[in-house]
Structure 1
Amino acid sequence: MKKIYLFILFLIINFGGLALGSWSMGDAVTGEWYASLNKAPWTPPGWVFGAAWTTIMLCFSIYLTFLFSIRKSRFVVIVYSIAVLLNISWNYIFFNQQLTHFGLATIIALTLVISYFFISCSDEKLSKLKYLLIPYIIWLCIATSLNGYVVLYN
């Protein structure tokens, strides 16, 4: 029963974080600034972002449920909190404030934090569950390349 409550908690935090991030970027995605950017040729269509983030946050919430039920510590809570803050703040930094260089640093930091969760899973019970982080890591690599392209070509 504890895992169900943890799962629901992480769903709320993770999807709430996505909602806050989306809200904090305002109308920048449909605005003139973003439309005028020279974007990477591999930039996916808009609908892909919603589908990707839904899948990512479901997988991440499952992973976190098991992580926190097996190995909850103050350090893990801090690392997770940093990941949530970086995820929320990137939207604001990149879209709302149009600070593409700082956005790139933020998304690289988020990629490193999520990769830390993947690499640090030496616990036998978590060793297979860590693969739930692969969609997140792949998506962050794609997003980092998109942000990097904007920095280089604008």
Structure 2
Amino acid sequence: MSKSHALTLILFVVLTVAGGSLIGYASIPGPWYQELQKPPFNPPNWIFGPVWTALYVLIGIAGARVFIRERGHWLPKLWFIQMALNFVWSPVFFTLHRPDLALAILIAMWLAILSFMVLAWTRDRPSALLFVPYAAWVSFAGLLNGAIWWLNPL
């Protein structure tokens, strides 16, 4: 791996983890979230930080790979689209208190993740595989977001 590729990898991982962490800290679940009715499968709050940190590392690695290898292709664009949607979700849900709008964002993010995986499968399979845990977690998050919206009508 060249020095410039190593630097790109480090930057993608650091910026992805830092961006996700910053947004997470800026939109920490407060009293509004604590008072919501939640489904029985709602995990404890402490689990989200470690899970998202691990996912952001994998997402950052995949982003660096496609940025380096597929710069003129749709893969880097899809990576940035899903990342923007990812970063928007928390403030919409936790700050704006809009689980309905957050669910729409999450569905768009899920579609972007799956599109990324499908396109990456033949162009950069490791990047597609790095997104498998992310797709699984976002699927679960969609179920959780939908259940919270259902249980707490606006």
Q: TM-score, normalised by structure 1?
A: 0.87
How many Å separate the matches in 2 of 1:133 and 1:76? 12
Aligned residue in 2 for 1:43? 42
Contact 1:10 1:61 in 2 (8 A): yes
- Corresponding residue for 2:32? 33
Report the TM-score, using the length of structure 2 for normalisation. 0.87
Aligned partners of 1:84, 1:36: CA distance in 2, in Å? 29
Q: How big is the shift at 1:137?
A: 0.4
Task: Encode CA deviations 1:89-124: one digit per residue, 9 max, x unaligned.
Answer: 111100100011000001111111111110112435
Name the structure 1 match of 2:120. Answer: 121
* Segment of structure 1 superposing worse, 15-24 or 64-73: 15-24
Q: CA contact under 8 A between 2:75 and 2:120: conserved in structure 1? A: no
Contact 2:9–2:60 under 8 Å retained in 1: yes
Q: Measure, in 1, the Cα distance between the counterparts of 2:104 and 2:26.
A: 18
Number of equivalenced pairs: 150
Partner of 1:18: 20
- Which residue does 1:105 correspond to in 2? 104
CA distance in 2: counterparts of 1:19 and 1:83, whole angstroms: 16
Q: 1:75 to 1:119 in 2, by over 3 A?
A: closer
Q: What is the Cα-based RMSD across aligned positions, in Å?
A: 1.8
Superposition deviation, residue 74 in structure 1:
6.5
Match of 1:134 among 132, 135, 142: 132
Map Cα deviations across residues 70-100 of structure 1 (whole Å, 9 max, x no partner).
Answer: 1112744432222222111111100100011
CA drift of 1:152 comes to 0.8
Q: Describe the shift of the 1:145–1:122 C-alpha distance in structure 2 as closer, same or farther (beyond 3 A).
A: closer
Q: Distance between the aligned counterparts of 1:32 and 1:122, measured in 2?
A: 42
Aligned to 1:65: 64
**CA distance in 2 between partners of 1:122 and 1:134 (Å):** 11
Considering Cα pairs closer than 8 Å and 6+ residues apart, tell me whether 1 or 2 has the greater RCO.
1
> Equivalents in 1 of 2:146, 2:98: separation in Å?
12
Q: Distance in 1 between matches of 2:91 and 2:17?
A: 16
